[in-house]
Amino acid sequence: MTHAPGPSCDICRIHADAACAPFEVARDGRWVVRHHLPPSPLAGWTFLCAQRHVQGPADLDDAEADGFGRALRRVSRAVREVTGCDRVYAIAFGQGAPHLHVHLVPRFDAEPGTAAWKVADWYRAVERGERPAADAAAVAGAVRGLRDALGGGPLDR
Ligand SMILES: [Zn+2]
């Protein structure tokens, strides 16, 4: 099922908010890529969001479903290239906002505190202010790098 877009949806609100533009990486007719807003748990923590207001993959239309894998691969590769991480986690709950936003998380083997589900504890510690957020300059650098890596045009090619 789909839910009404609008001010009640945080993802729709962020996509329309000019104040969030410095964290937007790329946008095409179907997808929006953006960096996590401050406080960001890690530099390079990126989202692949459906442009349309859909709760999750079950609600994608055929064209979105066809392009989803390619867009996911492309943005995940960009996160890996830009951050130099060992792997990229892909997590989608659709709980905080009923609007598909896949968390693409750069995972470094050298940081055991972010392994698998521990990354959720890390996330919440940053959210509560118990752990410092990623450095603002590092986040800005990641945004620039991701923009360069992805360029313009369709994200699902
Ligand atoms: Zn929405």
What are the pLDDT digits (tens) for 15-72? 999 999 999 999 999 999 999 999 999 999 999 999 999 999 999 999 999 999 999 9
What are the pLDDT digits (tens) for 65-77? 999 999 999 999 9
The Å distance, Cα 145 to ligand 1 centre, comes to 26
CA pair distance 44, 115, nearest whole angstrom: 16
User: How would residue 1 be classed by pLDDT, with cut points 50, 70 and 90?
Assistant: very low
Backbone angles phi, psi at 76, to 5 degrees: -60, -40
The Å distance, Cα 97 to ligand 1 centre, comes to 7
Considering the domain delimited by 10-29+38-150, tell me its CATH architecture: 2-Layer Sandwich (3.30)
Q: Provide the 8-state DSSP code for 20.
A: G
The Å distance, Cα 96 to ligand 1 centre, comes to 11
